[in-house]
């Protein structure tokens, strides 16, 4: 399987989202009110989008 190449900036942005406590909670608990609110925020957040692109996951919400 070929691994996608990501820019350094995108990887840094994804790591920043990975360390964000509300974002981590939302990814772990997508069906809660907080999880849904943070996932909504992720629809326009560049850090959340970078996380999805780098890690290839889209949380439900």
pLDDT in tens, 12-60: 999 999 999 999 999 999 999 999 999 899 889 999 999 999 987 655 4
Query: Where in the sequence is the domain holding 37, given as residue range(s)?
Result: 8-55
What pLDDT is attached to residue 1?
A: 39
Backbone phi and psi for residue 24, each to the nearest 5 degrees, phi listed first:
-65, -40
The total number of structural domains in the chain stands at: 1
pTM of the model: 0.76
Distance of alpha carbon 31 from alpha carbon 59, whole angstroms: 10
What pLDDT is attached to residue 5?
A: 84
Residue 1 lies in a domain: no
Residue with tokens 């820019």: 7
Residue 42 lies in a domain: yes
2 has pLDDT over 50: no
Q: What SS3 state is found at 4?
A: coil
Residue 61 lies in a domain: no
Residue 2 lies in a domain: no
């Amino acid at each position: 399987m070929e691994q996608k190449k990501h820019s350094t900036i995108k990887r840094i942005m994804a790591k920043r989202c990975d360390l964000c406590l509300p974002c981590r909670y939302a990814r772990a608990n997508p069906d809660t009110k907080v999880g849904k609110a943070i996932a909504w925020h992720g629809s326009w957040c560049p850090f959340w989008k970078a996380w999805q692109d780098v890690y290839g996951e889209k949380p439900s919400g």
